Structure 1
Amino acid sequence: MHELTFFPRGDGLTLAELASLTGASLGEGADPALRIAGIAALSEAGPQDLSFFDSKRYSAELSATRAGCVLVSPKNVGLLPSGMPALVTASAAIAFTEAGRALFPGAVLPTPATGSHGVSLKADIHREARLEDGVTVEAFASIGPGVEIGRGTIVGAGAVIGAGCRIGRNCRIGSNVTLTHALVGDRVILHPGVRIGQDGFGYTAGPAGLVKAVQIGRVIIQDDVEIGANTTVDRGGVRDTVIGEGTKIDNQVQIAHNVRIGRHCVIVAQVGISGSTTLGDGVMIGGQTGINGHLTIADGAQIAAVSSVAGDVPKGARWGGTPAKPVRDWFRELMTLSELAQRGRSPRKTDE
């Protein structure tokens, strides 16, 4: 069977063009006319591929690579194999990302699964929905009454857009997404299986058991947000759930009702954020972290992976652990426990 690729190579770019694009400089002896058509890891790259090196742990792969060119920082130029063409830049990883976007522009945004554009005859669109010109709706998508969708947006196969929702321009609504009680800005990406706007987990204990509370808020997703596959965002109970512009959310994240997330935050896979918690701008949350409800994590704070946050986190702080605390305190505790375990005695035991 022939090799199958979902992102075919184009004509590529010369080293001179890549240098101009990324702000890199040509390494000694590099041919500015050398054409690069793809990107690959050091161990898998071929003569037409661009790779990058930014950690000495990959020195063996660097010495054996067949890459046509390697992006490298000035401090690592001396580790390159003799005769290896290089582009020298302060940040090889950032330059590699920019080059990849230029070489494979079709991979930057999700495209229609069927490869076709326009409104499918198999889609169910309510007569009171309003779609601007240039909207794509794939087969078996369902769009309810009062929905408004801006031009350039793609609604994937099997997606459900509930009554009254608003979706801006140039958005990507993945296959089998459900979107209800929500207002969505421009250039938003919702990957397959995302659930937006369902009621949150809200109950009041009564004499006869738990009584379900109504959830009458909305979800507001601002411009340039990206939400990974199978993530859930509950609508607000008595205030809106809000995700600020530019925020990136990984797969399988749970965001509860009334949560407010600031701008340009990063939330990694399997994070759970309980109700009525507020995240400031630029907050970063590591994977598998749990955050209690009614907390504030202030601007620029960072939480290490697999942590449990039980209290407010100050601006710019770096916390981790269970319960989460400043990273220095957390590391000090871990070192103390490790030393005690190695000595095989408790801190209360004294020498006789």
Structure 2
Amino acid sequence: MADPRFFTNHGPFTLTKLCEISGASLQEGADGSIEIKDVAALDSASAGDITFLSNMKYKNDLPETKAAACIIPESAQSLVPENVVALISDNPYKAYALIAQAFYPIKEVLAEPVHKTAVVDPSAKLGKDVVIGANTVIGPNVEIGDNTWVGANVTITHALIGANCRIFNGVCIGQDGFGFAIDPAGHVTVPQLGRVVIEDYVEIGANTTIDRGAGPDTVIGMGTRIDNLVQIGHNVKIGKGCVIIAQSGISGSAVIEDFVVIAAQAGVAGHLTIGKGAQVAAKTGVPSSIEAGAKVMGYPAKNIRDFWAEQAIMKRMLQKRKAGLKEKE
């Protein structure tokens, strides 16, 4: 169970209520009035808990679980022990997430929504139920939408931020982009005259930096999730529902279309487009545009099947070379 020193449990909930919350279906004949007290993992759940199975890699843990109820795909019904009530869902992990949010709301009501050490410029506009953490600085004319949560030690300038966003500790938004004219006599700074526009339901992980545009805006689309330690350059346009994972960098004026996934430590060059639904593997270097729906890997980025085919060829070549050297010996 979650440590009560850090997390407040808002349960219990009946199984019927949890089905309403999650969209799951209660197994036929089950008692919907049974109360569930907490959420837990399959292998650590106890009586009164609800758990889930979404990855069949862990199916062997299901017959041994001590949970009172389990969220499962329809295909796993035969694995559920007699003493466990099944909640059937097309997406067990999503159903579990919604139930876990009911027990442990992501945003708690705070007595001091704007921390006393935060600095909020008088011209900034904060929506309803906005939370601002300790030592955070909100610059002039910044706008933050309703129900947005901003953590500690965040700096936000030159930005319009939507509703229901979560901005974690140490994030910097709206600082100058890395723009200058190169000259042997000394580089000349180009004024960065754009903004950062962050749409609704965006999450930005700790210590991520998002530069404001040089003239056009830097834009983060609705529902995009950005991990910790990501760098987003000036004029970048990121579509809706994208996932950008830790230590990735996106150079200026790149366009990332809707539902793109960029895995950890990938690097994206500037002035290119990654098409809708494309997936970029970890540590990939992207020097040129990628078609919609493509899956790429390596440096320079190439189709993931081509990458692994090349790896197999290289492996065979090395094996032949080693065998030839042994024969010469």
Same fold (TM over 0.5): yes
Per-residue deviation, 1:346: 10
SS class of match (2:214): coil
TM-score w.r.t. length of structure 2: 0.90
The match for 1:316 is 293
Task: Give me the whole-angstrom Cα distance separating, in 2, the residues matched to 1:16 and 1:146.
Answer: 47
Q: Is contact 2:207–2:228 with CA below 8 Å preserved after alignment?
A: yes
Distance 1:269 1:192 in 2: 15
The equivalent of 2:54 in structure 1 is 54
1:10 corresponds to 2:5: no
Distance change >3 Å, CA 262–CA 54, structure 1 → 2 = closer
1:195 alignment partner AA = C
**Off by >6 Å, runs of 4+ in structure 1:** none
Q: TM-score, normalised by structure 1?
A: 0.84
1:23 deviates by 3.2
* Residue of structure 2 in register with 1:150 after alignment: 127
Residues in 1 aligned to 2:51 and 2:319: alpha-carbon distance in whole angstroms: 43
Q: Please give the residue correspondences for 1:177-192 in structure 2 after superposition, counting only pairs within 5 Å.
A: 177-192=154-169
Aligned-pair identity (%): 42
Using the TM superposition, give the Cα deviation of residue 162 of structure 1 relative to its aligned residue in structure 2, in angstroms: 1.1
Answer with 39-48 or 28-37: which moved more.
28-37
Counterpart CA distance in 2 for 1:143 and 1:5 is: 30
CA deviation map 1:67-93 (0-9, x unaligned): 111111122222233433222222221
**Alpha-carbon offset, residue 169 of structure 1:** 2.0
State whether residues 177 and 192 of structure 1, in contact with CA within 8 Å, keep that contact through their aligned partners in structure 2: yes
Q: Is the 8 A contact 1:340 1:346 kept in 2?
A: no
Instruction: Measure how far apart 1:248 and its partner are.
Output: 1.5
Aligned to 1:41: 41
1:333–1:156 CA distance, 2 compared to 1 (3 A): same
Q: Return closer, same or farther for 1:81/1:343 CA change in 2, 3 Å cut-off.
A: farther
Query: How many residues are matched?
Result: 322
Candidates 134, 137, 144, aligned match of 2:114: 137
C-alpha distance in structure 2 between counterparts of 1:225 and 1:146, whole Å: 23
In 2 relative to 1, CA 100–258 (structure 1 residues): closer, same or farther, beyond 3 Å?
A: same
Residue 69 of structure 1 is matched in structure 2 by 69
* CA displacement, residues 171-205 of structure 1 (integer Å, 9 cap, x when unaligned): 11211110011111222221111100111222322
Offset of 1:278 from its aligned partner? 0.8
Asked if structure 2 preserves the Cα contact closer than 8 Å seen for 1:262 and 1:281, the reply is yes
The letter for the 1-side match of 2:63 is: S
Amino acid in the other structure paired with 1:95: A
Distance 2:198 2:227 in 1: 15
Instruction: Specify every segment of 5 or more residues in structure 2 that has no aligned partner in the other structure, as ranges.
Output: 325-329
Please say if residues 11 and 38 of structure 2, whose CA atoms lie closer than 8 Å, have aligned partners that are also in contact: no
Cα contact 2:68–2:83 (8 A) shared by 1: no
Tell me how large the CA RMSD over aligned residues is.
Answer: 2.2
